[in-house]
Amino acid sequence: MEPYRVLPGPEAFFTPAAARMGIVLPEPGEGHIEGRIVPEEEAMECAARKLIEAKNPTIHPGPLVLWNWNEKAAKKAKAIKILSEVIPARIIPMADYRPKYPKINAEVEINPNHPNLTIWHNKEDVCVFVGVHCHMANLSLKIIRGGTSCFTIALCANAGHEDANLSLRDLTAEKILRLAEWVSKLKGTSFVKPVAMDTSEDNSRYSDNIFVKSSDGGG
């Protein structure tokens, strides 16, 4: 029996958790591609290639980068905006985890309870999760893998996501910019790395951020 691979779906109505199928998380300096542990730079290159080859690449930032709650979030948000412009890719936020019943607006944001609707509605073939709490990301990634053919890339500040088709761990603003650099390299264009992003004074001064306000007063 061949080892289980975390491939784009549609896989099954009840999608198995990748961890139960033997998929392990990468160690520091590593990433995973479809469940295969690889050096981080190999995962970076693969992610960049997937993004530039996609017809509708989309970035789904979550509250950990959407809400301006510390300096790291501010730097990551600015780096994500740069990445989206280099690809180029759309940005559709996952801004609020509370269920949107009776209906979500799939044109405005992705919801972890029904991420397949947003994927289908926007015809996404490659998507990036960044700044999404791990438990919500894993829920959404399984639903997307189960019911769509979208290739999922999870950029995680912690240990990565085994339920994504590709995942990088220990995410920083610097790593996001490295991914943007990989995109530029594969496209054959030049990438001018921005100067150090000092957000220690007033984050709201940035005119090119992607911050939104929390509906419950946070951020």
* Pairwise CA distance, residues 4 & 7, whole Å: 9
CB 40 within 8 A of CB 12: no
The average confidence (pLDDT) of the chain is: 85
% of the chain at pLDDT higher than 70: 88
* C-alpha pair distances (Å), 145 with each of 15, 16, 168, 178, 192: 7, 10, 18, 27, 35
Q: What is the CATH number of domain 30-184?
A: 3.40.50.12640
What's the confidence (pLDDT) of residue 207? 34
Q: Which two tokens stand for residue 148?
A: 């769509």
Question: What is the pTM for the complete model shown?
Answer: 0.84
DSSP element (H, E) containing 90: strand 90-91
Predicted local distance difference test score (pLDDT) of residue 55:
96
Alpha carbon distance 214, 17 (integer Å): 30
